[in-house]
A and B are shown apart, each in its own frame.
Chain A
Amino acid sequence: MEPISIKLTVCAKRVKEDGTIEDLGELLSSHFQDNEEKCQELSQVTQEQV
């Protein structure tokens, strides 16, 4: 039986005063597993089998 899982991903970017966006991946990447999908710059948080 192929499992279905729920993947929770949190990405964050710092918005600078000039409106440009700084990727915060380096700040958080050591604390999360990389997520290869939409939020490559950050992190997979949990994955639960349901």
Chain B
Amino acid sequence: MSGTITSNTRAGLVSSLVNLGAQYLAVGVGSGTASATDLALFSEVQTRISGTLTQTTTTTSGDTYQWVGTVTSTANQTLTNLGLFSSKGSPIQDTLSQQVSSNTQSFIVPVSYYTWPSSYPFNIQVSTEVMTVVSGNGSSTLYVQRGVNGSTALSTIPALTTITQVTGTLLAKTNFTGLSLNSGDQVQFFINIQLQ
């Protein structure tokens, strides 16, 4: 017996992806392995950029979603991860002022409390874990729901780990060991999603 998703259906699914509309490339410099539960990058840097979206052919007609755009590095830095987001806005980012010491700890202490919104809830990602911030104490501490979006609540998260607000919908994300760039370097990225 054999079954398959037809080429026309694959092309239709790709078309649906394209019809999601503009996607913006974000790049990051933090460490970590991309996971399907991620909603943010690892230490996002610089502004997100627009690109060109097309439906292309790799194996069967229209089986590939392609995003092409060029990043101009604004600093000497090593890119380690990137993602396509539905929103151009840069996320609020901060760091932990003290470590998270258990997977049930229901609060975090950011370095810059007043950087964060005072209306709740909103989602953040810290390392590989997604959390929902449900309230704050008004001066230093954010209260969180742990292990959101299917992510694993981490038993320890070191101080100074980046906290990134979830901004926009993350279509795809990848990490890599490092792409070293000097300030002013231009890099053209081709991101293909093929249904095969």
Q: Which residues of A contact B (CB under 8 A)?
A: 1-2, 4-15, 21, 24, 27-28, 30-32, 37-39, 42-43, 45-46, 48
| Contact call B194/A9, Cβ cutoff below 8 A | yes
The SS class assigned to the B binding surface is: strand
Q: Given A24-B179, A37-B59, A38-B58, are A7 and B189 also a contact pair (CB < 8 Å)?
A: no
A37-B59, A48-B36 known; 4 new pairs, CB 8 Å cut-off, are A1-B4, A6-B196, A10-B82, A12-B189
Q: Which residues of B contact A (CB under 8 A)?
A: 1-5, 10, 34, 36, 56, 58-59, 64, 70, 82, 172, 174, 176-180, 185-196
The SS class assigned to the A binding surface is: strand
| Contact call B179/A1, Cβ cutoff below 8 A | no
Q: Given A15-B70, A28-B176, A37-B59, are A9 and B192 also a contact pair (CB < 8 Å)?
A: yes
Residues of A within 8 A of B174 (CB): 8, 10, 45-46
For B188, give its contact among A8, A15, A43 (CB under 8 Å).
A15
Q: Given A4-B4, A10-B82, A14-B185, are A27 and B192 also a contact pair (CB < 8 Å)?
A: no
